[in-house]
Amino acid sequence: MEKVSDVLDFLPYILKMPSNRIWIDYDDEADVLYISFRKPQQANDSIMEDDIIYHYHDEAIVGITILHAKNKAGQS
């Protein structure tokens, strides 16, 4: 049940996402978290800031890539 409470803690953030569909993939070997708001993303622009890549299609954010995800979550 502890894992469910972790999800419930995250729930307010999920409800604020720019899309009602979210795809999340984690590459443990590379420690990279991929969050997509569209499948496929079809991004035509991206901006990298502090090891976070923001993917855009025109003005709309369509995905986020988080490098060194465990470190950012304080789990390194």
Print the domain residue range for 28: 2-72
Which residue, 43, 37, 36, is CA-closest to 20? 37
Residue 53 contacts residue 62 (beta carbons within 8 Å): no
pTM of the model: 0.83
Per-residue pLDDT of the chain (76 residues; tens, 9 = 90+): 567 888 888 889 889 988 889 999 999 999 999 999 988 889 999 999 999 999 999 999 999 999 999 998 887 6
* Count of domains for the chain: 1
